[in-house]
């Protein structure tokens, strides 16, 4: 059974750095073709892809947020960490992590429950 | 950047109806198109990948078609549990995996 779960602060102040952890089980980030990504969703709005890290440590970032994002993995702990610097109230959103895999297209087949992060002073 | 545009933005339908949702890419994305369903307060759920492949466990009333720039998600006979928001997502253009703006499917 594949599961993912996000953890981190629910409230951060503007300009602070957000650190979110995705803890997963049921698959390995050592497996070729597998990745873990982060996607966010502001309240009442659409999904926005942020970052993705692959089994071989290849990393991809949303161009519009690249300067503020860092994604890393700890394969031994089955965790992926996303850091986002200089948080702003517009970054208030539910943050999801999801497993990425490829079969004719790359897609997110398993998702965490999401964690709501509010940016406010 | 590739833009994904869904239509309609919202749709009212009845149980048993056949409904279709369209997703258009701003440039060709071959078949690198996926569909997700999201219910309020829940994470998205993968329905269709690679434009027309049904994810394991997803009912066969869901189907996907298209290639290039125009794609369609069809629900052959709406069930009460299908009322949700649907998103398309392209994975042709990396590093940006763009989602559409969503289509809200409501009960008429």
Interface test with A, best of B36, B49, B64, B73 (most A CBs within 10 A): B49
Diameter of chain B measured on Cα atoms: 39
Q: How confident is the model at residue B93 (pLDDT cuts 50, 70, 90)?
A: confident
Take residue A38 and report the two structure tokens written for it. Answer: 């982060």
pLDDT value at residue A46: 97
Strands A106-111 and B62-67 turn out to be unpaired
User: Is the pLDDT at A94 greater than 80, yes or no?
Assistant: yes
Contact B1 A96 (CB under 8 A): no
Take residue A53 and report the two structure tokens written for it. Answer: 């890290």
Q: What is the pLDDT of residues B25-53, one digit of tens each?
A: 999 999 999 999 999 999 999 999 999 99
Give chain B's contact residues with A (Cβ, < 8 Å): 1, 31-34, 36, 38, 42-46, 49-51, 53, 55, 87, 89, 91, 94-102
- The rounded distance, in Å, linking the Cα atoms of B43 and A96 is 8
Q: What is the DSSP string of chain B?
A: ---EEEE-SEEEE-TT--EEEEEEESS--TT-EEEEEE-TTS--EEEEETTTEEPTT--TTEEEEEETTEEEEEESS--GGG-SEEEEEE-SSSS---B---EEEEE-
Angle at B93 between CA A5 and CA A61, to 5 degrees: 45
pLDDT value at residue A68: 97
pLDDT value at residue B96: 76
pLDDT value at residue A81: 98
By Cβ distance, the residue of A47, A62, A63 closest to B87 is A47
Name the residue of chain B whose CA is nearest to A43's CA: B41
The answer, for A106 touching chain B at a CB cutoff of 8 Å, is: yes
pLDDT value at residue A104: 84
Eight-state DSSP code of residue A76: G
Q: What is the pLDDT of residues B69-82, one digit of tens each?
A: 999 999 999 999 99
The answer, for A90 touching chain B at a CB cutoff of 8 Å, is: no
Residues 6 or more apart whose CB falls under 8 angstroms from that of B8 comprise: B21, B103
| Residues of chain A found within 8 Å of residue B87, distances taken between Cβ atoms | 46-47
Contact B98 A107 (CB under 8 A): no
| Residues of chain A found within 8 Å of residue B68, distances taken between Cβ atoms | none
């Amino acid at each position: 059974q594949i599961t993912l779960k996000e953890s981190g602060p629910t409230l951060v102040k503007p300009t602070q750095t957000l650190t979110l952890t995705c803890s997963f089980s049921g698959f390995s980030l050592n497996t070729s073709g597998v990745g873990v990504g982060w996607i966010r969703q502001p309240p009442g709005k659409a999904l926005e892809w942020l970052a993705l890290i692959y089994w071989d440590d290849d990393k991809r970032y949303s161009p519009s947020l690249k300067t503020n994002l860092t994604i890393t993995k700890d394969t031994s702990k089955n965790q992926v960490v996303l850091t986002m610097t200089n948080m702003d109230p517009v970054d208030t959103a539910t943050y999801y992590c999801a497993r990425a895999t490829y079969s004719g297209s790359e897609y997110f087949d398993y998702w965490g429950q999401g964690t709501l992060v509010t940016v406010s002073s | 950047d590739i833009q994904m545009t869904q239509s309609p933005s919202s749709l009212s339908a009845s149980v048993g109806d056949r409904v279709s949702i369209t997703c258009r890419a701003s440039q060709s994305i071959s078949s690198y198109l996926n569909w997700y369903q999201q219910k309020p307060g829940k994470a998205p759920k993968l329905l269709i990948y690679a434009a027309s492949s049904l994810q394991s466990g997803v009912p066969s009333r869901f189907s996907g078609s298209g290639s290039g720039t125009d794609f369609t998600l069809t629900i052959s006979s709406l069930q009460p549990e299908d009322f949700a928001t649907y998103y398309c997502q392209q994975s042709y253009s990396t590093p940006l995996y763009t989602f559409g703006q969503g289509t809200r499917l409501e009960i008429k």
